Structure 1
Amino acid sequence: MAALTDRVLRALERFNAAHPWDHNAHYHRWILRQLPRRLDRALDVGCGSGDLARLLATRATAVRAVDADPAIVARARELTAPGTRVTFAVEDALADTGDDGSHTAVTCLATLHHLPLAPALARFRDRLAPGGTLVVLGLARPDTAGDHLLGLLSIPLNAATGWLRNRGRPAPRPVAMTAATRDAEETLAEIALVAGRILPGARIRRRLFWRYTLVWRKPDPGS
């Protein structure tokens, strides 16, 4: 049975390599639904090639998109049309940039597991304005039966999504630059425990395609 499972997984890996799609972009529209229709200043942490930052710019007065990788930031700038309300910067996500309390939205996609969890969540909290919204799409280490079941369910759905998005045809290997990857260390329970201490009331949910979401609204004493 183990050998059969191994062969199935390898076959799926080959299929997914031929029919690739962006698991994070799959959640972009969902992320936008968690945010107000109009934003003042938005911050996208770990922006990659800038796809979400450009979407945020359709709602925000200004978007600051940051990534620690200079080559990826350069690529994001190349892909962004002149006049788009996005500023890309090479920046450490935990850096003190003097902009605390100034963002109505902070987003972080598939980046939090690269950072020390508690300091990163505290930094995101501090950079939000009162009433602002934090949205995280993250990766957690599978731990419970529910985690493994959702992971197994994601395998055929992942293949089906890749097939449909590529209209059944093998796609050329993408040339876009991607950041170095690493496995998540914390389980969802561990993430929820830390988030509950730093972001009281945060909503955390398991999601398909090996992701979870965290949404938190910063209290506004004046509202």
Structure 2
Amino acid sequence: MTLLTPRVLRTLHALNSAYPWDHNARYHRWILRRLPQRPDRALDVGSGRGELARLLARRSRTVIGLDADPAIVAAARALTPGSAPVSFVTGRAPDEVPPGPYDVITCVATLHHLPFEASLTCFREHLAPGGTLVVVGVHRPSSPGDRLLDAVAIPLNPVIGLIRSRGRKAPAPVVPAPRTSPATMTCPEILCAARRVLPGARLRRRLFWRHTLVWRRPAES
């Protein structure tokens, strides 16, 4: 429950709408710091317009971006230089993941739209020995810790939007954002289910309605 009044919440909502910013992109650099310096092959599941895939392509020999929306895939291709070692394909995890193995698999704000354990099992099977899986996920708030992070994020969100936009209102997107569905799993539920598939996976709650899940496949002898 928030202590902010309805009037303040309406004001914050109006600012968020006028000066939106990408909560997922905030974690891209964080993701890169968790990965090997020069991975050979990388897969970005739910690649959207390709921002993270293009960052991965600066370090990887080959990158594949997978997204279920053909319009978004077309936009990603149009935004990507032809010289970049990245390709975008239309498909939905877990059934349409291009064959691995991959040294890196990333999945940002997408896993809550997919069959959870089946998708993690698919990612595990497509990871090369010693490979790294990094998930930035969305969860259903359930704990005092979640509510505390929300209490910080709600007023901070429009402030960051104003700073990033330098006071300029955002133009209408060229490609409409796909419809999203709310997350149904809590962080404890996510961690419990993840560790059934990925023993030793590490989860941490983050600001702006996100959590991170990191797992490294053991190197085979």
TM over 0.5: yes
Using the alignment, how far apart are the partners of 1:45 and 1:219 within structure 2?
A: 21
Range with bigger deviation, 195-204 or 128-137: 195-204
Range with bigger deviation, 166-175 or 72-81: 166-175
Q: Which residue in the other structure is 1:156 paired with?
A: 155
AA paired with 2:209?
W
Contact 1:47/1:65 (CA < 8 Å) preserved in 2? yes
Q: What are the equivalent positions in structure 2 for 1:74-89 lying under 5 Å apart?
A: 74-89=74-89
Give the TM-score, by structure 2 length: 0.95
AA paired with 2:220?
P
AA paired with 2:184?
E
1:88-120 Cα distance to aligned partner (Å, 9 max, x none): 1001211255724x1000000000000111101
Unpaired runs of 5+ in structure 1? none
**1:98–1:161 distance in 2 versus 1, CA, 3 Å:** closer
Q: Which residue in the other structure is 1:199 paired with?
A: 198
Q: Which residue in the other structure is 2:111 paired with?
A: 112
Using the alignment, how far apart are the partners of 1:120 and 1:217 within structure 2?
A: 16
Using the alignment, how far apart are the partners of 1:46 and 1:92 within structure 2?
A: 8
Using the alignment, how far apart are the partners of 1:77 and 1:98 within structure 2?
A: 17
1:154-174 Cα distance to aligned partner (Å, 9 max, x none): 012211110110112333233
**1:97–1:142 distance in 2 versus 1, CA, 3 Å:** closer
Using the alignment, how far apart are the partners of 1:78 and 1:166 within structure 2?
A: 24
Q: What are the equivalent positions in structure 2 for 1:208-223 lying under 5 Å apart?
A: 208-222=207-221
Using the alignment, how far apart are the partners of 1:181 and 1:96 within structure 2?
A: 20
Q: Which residue in the other structure is 2:11 paired with?
A: 11
* Aligned-residue offset at 1:7: 2.3
Unpaired runs of 5+ in structure 2? none
AA paired with 1:146?
G
Give the TM-score, by structure 1 length: 0.94
Contact 2:2/2:151 (CA < 8 Å) preserved in 1? no
**1:200–1:11 distance in 2 versus 1, CA, 3 Å:** same
Q: Which residue in the other structure is 2:173 paired with?
A: 174
Partner SS state of residue 23, structure 1? coil
Q: RMSD over aligned Cα, in angstroms?
A: 1.7
Matched residues, number? 221
**1:125–1:10 distance in 2 versus 1, CA, 3 Å:** same
AA paired with 1:84?
A
Identity of aligned pairs, percent? 56
Q: Runs of 4 or more off by more than 4 Å in structure 1?
A: 1-4
